[in-house]
Amino acid sequence: MPASRSWAVVALFLIITVAQKMIEPMYSGYFFAFCALSLMLAWKCRYSRFIKAPELNIDFFAISLVLTFSIFFAIKTHQDARDIFRDVGAIFAFMIGRYVIPLWVGRGNVKLLMQTLSDIGVAISVITIMFALLAYLDGADAYHWRGTYVPLSHGWLPYFLIVNIALLRKTSEQASRYGYRIFLCIAGTIASLSRTDVLLDLFIGLVLLLTIGRHLFSNVRVMRGLIAFGIIVAVLMPKIIELDVVQERLASNAEDADPSLGWRYIENQALFDHFSEGAALPAIVGYGLGSRISLPDGVLDFDGNDTIPLLHNSYLTIVLKFGLLGLCFFALYIVRKVRVWMVLRKSPHAIYAWTGSWIMLIVLAKGIILQGLTEWSHVIFFGLACMLLSFDTYKKDSKK
């Protein structure tokens, strides 16, 4: 059961999950949850001085400065209010993950935050599997399986997988508990039919075997779990692969038959055409929050629009909004976090830094093809990763 301080965080992610299915546009539900949690935190901390916490001095004010400048630039160029709201919300989502959630759970109580994320992972895994089972019973094809039945929150499962692996390594006496949760995350990913996330899980497993395989195999409980998991995979995987929907997903990769790849090419080409038609300055500083790019003549998106505000490749979206200069600043921020990880991995907090580095890596990977750095819920996890890769996070950590 989640601790009392964690229920609001659990509710936040469940509201987002529901918003993805029942609220249009879904970002309205996200924004409601963000505001509710932020106001609750403000009321809870109304007599404290948490706003003067050291970690707010650099990241917080730098982000605020960028946000203020970008909003001013967007208003000056008369961007659509809904597009500005969407872009500002992504920055707001980062701050929710970086500051609000950790402060709500308890500043420095990283272990409780990790356990809370593990609990959320159980809920999302079960929800994903249930909807996948419903899709199977209804005879849904691969398109409707993912687009109608399975919630978009299944994309969070690789993050929860990393969290549970870290908790298993941190508390080996509870190997059975977190072993089951790891199995749930993997089962949910397979049930979602997400090719990207399945590949991410395989990559994570391969790296773990190469880096900490000896540690895993030295634990009898972990070894038993791995053997049981291997037997289950050996028995069920052939049957899963034979399913029609799985064959549809596999076949869509062959001979450029996947329409999503063609759409990504159209997006990228539209961005390059957009910059080639303008002056040099926009390529350097971008077009600001709320900016859109025109699609080629005769091409419309799924909502019938001839312009789009985001690309599947988040790095190109950053170039659109903030230019090459913005992309360079983002790269420098990532380098800074890598340097923090290199120090923390030799500290008592190494397992938390390991978690943050993996979550960040997954978000960055999703940013290439799945809007990982622009879709609000994934940006929350990016903020959480940055929190885990910050020195100030552990200054009051008594839960070593």
Mean pLDDT of 185-193: 92
Mean pLDDT of 224-240: 70
Give the lowest-confidence range in 17-21, 206-210, 294-298, 308-312.
294-298
Torsion angles phi and psi, residue 294, rounded to 5: -85, 140
Give the lowest-confidence range in 17-21, 285-289, 367-371.
285-289
Residue 40 contacts residue 8 (beta carbons within 8 Å): yes
pLDDT at 147: 77
- 197 vs 63: which has the higher pLDDT: 197
Sequence length of the chain is 400
The rounded percent of the chain whose pLDDT value lies above 90 is 32
pLDDT at 268: 85
Residue 374 contacts residue 91 (beta carbons within 8 Å): no
Mean pLDDT of 111-131: 94
Residue 149 contacts residue 134 (beta carbons within 8 Å): yes
pLDDT at 66: 61
Of the segments 4-8, 32-36, 244-248, 395-399, which one has the largest average pLDDT value? 32-36
**Residue 258 above 50 pLDDT?**
yes
pLDDT at 387: 92
- 261 vs 320: which has the higher pLDDT: 320
- Integer Cα distance of 66 and 56 in angstroms: 15
Of the segments 76-90, 141-155, 277-291, which one has the largest average pLDDT value? 141-155
pLDDT at 353: 95
What rounded mean pLDDT belongs to the chain?
81
- Integer Cα distance of 291 and 323 in angstroms: 12
**Residue 98 above 80 pLDDT?**
yes
pLDDT at 264: 81
- Integer Cα distance of 15 and 73 in angstroms: 32
- Per-residue pLDDT tens digits for 375-393: 999 999 999 999 999 988 8
The rounded percent of the chain whose pLDDT value lies above 70 is 77
- Per-residue pLDDT tens digits for 143-173: 788 878 899 999 999 999 999 999 988 887 7
- 28 vs 48: which has the higher pLDDT: 28
Where does 168-305 show beta strands of DSSP type E? 293-294
pLDDT at 64: 60
Query: For the CA atoms of the chain, what is the radius of gyration?
Result: 22
Q: How confident is the model at residue 257 (pLDDT cuts 50, 70, 90)?
A: low
Tokens 């390991």 — which residue? Answer: 354
pLDDT at 57: 45
**Residue 134 above 90 pLDDT?**
yes
One-letter amino acid at 292 equals R
Torsion angles phi and psi, residue 108, rounded to 5: 90, -15
Is residue 255 helix, strand or coil? helix
Is residue 307 helix, strand or coil? strand
**Residue 371 above 50 pLDDT?**
yes
